[in-house]
Amino acid sequence: QKEVEQNSGPLSVPEGAIASLNCTYSDRGSQSFFWYRQYSGKSPELIMSIYSNGDKEDGRFTAQLNKASQYVSLLIRDSQPSDSATYLCAVFNDYKLSFGAGTTVTVRA
Amino acid sequence: GAVVSQHPSWVICKSGTSVKIECRSLDFQATTMFWYRQFPKQSLMLMATSNEGSKATYEQGVEKDKFLINHASLTLSTLTVTSAHPEDSSFYICSALNRLAEGRVEYFGPGTRLTVL
C-alpha cells in the first residue's frame, strides 16, 4: 500500500467551478499535511498546510483534514485557467515528506 | 511564503565533469534541507537529507560518493554531482525546512535542470 494516495486524474473543470482533490494516507501518526502546486517544468509551490482536524481557508483554497479517516482534501473555488497544474498531496512522516502521485487539473476557459 | 533560491537554474556539462548546485534559504535559517530529483512525468524522488554541521543522510540507492552534499551554514547547502554522466541528466530540486509555531513546513527552491552531454 502506498503511503499517500490521491484520486486519479486528470481532472477537468470549467472556469468558475469548484475543483475537488482528495488524498488518503496510511501512517496514522502523521501530524503535518500539505498541498503543493506544480506547474509543468517548475518546482512545487506550497499552497496549503494543515495540522489539525477541520477546515482551513486561504483565499480560494480550502483544505480539510480528518485524522480519524486519514483523509485530506483540497477545494479550489472559482477555478481559473491559471490553476491548471499538478497538485501534490504531501504528508510529513518521521523526517521526510511522502508525496502522492499528483492530480493534474485542467481548468477549461 | 518563505523564499528558497537555487543556483544555477540550468547547466549543461560534458560527461565526466562535476557540477555544483547551491541551495539557499533567504529569509529563515534551515538546519535541515533536502535534495530531490525529478525525471519527466515522474514524481519527486528524495535523494538525501542535509543537516547543518553533520553528514548528509542518503536514501537507499543513492550513491553518496557521487552526490556530495555539504551543509556548511544555516542558510546554504550544496549538491555536487561528481563525474556526471548522461543518465544523471534530471531536474534537481532542493527544499528547506522551516519550523513554525504550528508545525513544520518545507519550501522548495526553483530547481536546477542538469543536462549532461
DSSP secondary structure string, B22-44?
EEEESSS--SEEEEEEE-TTS--
Residues 6+ away with beta carbon under 8 Å from B8 = B21, B112
HSE at residue B48, side-chain half, CA atoms within 13 A, is 25
Q: Within 10 Å of residue A107's Cβ, how many Cβ atoms?
A: 20
pLDDT in tens, B1-43: 679 999 999 999 999 999 999 999 999 999 899 999 999 888 8
C-alpha–C-alpha distance, residues A79 and B22, integer Å: 36
- B80-104: buried (b, 16+ CB within 10 Å) or exposed (e) per residue? ebeebeeebbbbbbbbbbbeeeebb
Q: Chain A 34-93, CB below 8 Å of chain B: which residues?
A: 34, 36, 41-46, 49, 51, 88, 90, 92
Q: What average pLDDT does range A29-34 have in this prediction?
A: 92
CB contact under 8 A, A43 and B46: no
Strands B57-58 and B4-7: unpaired
Q: Within 10 Å of residue A48's Cβ, how many Cβ atoms?
A: 20
Q: Within 10 Å of residue A14's Cβ, how many Cβ atoms?
A: 10
Q: Give the best residue of A39, A43, A58, A87 to mutate against chain B (max B CB count within 10 A).
A: A43
Tell me: pLDDT of A29 over 80.
yes
Residues 6+ away with beta carbon under 8 Å from A77 = A18, A60, A61, A62
Percent above pLDDT 70 for chain B: 99
pLDDT in tens, B60-87: 999 999 999 999 899 999 999 999 999 9
Helix residue ranges per DSSP H, B48-96: none
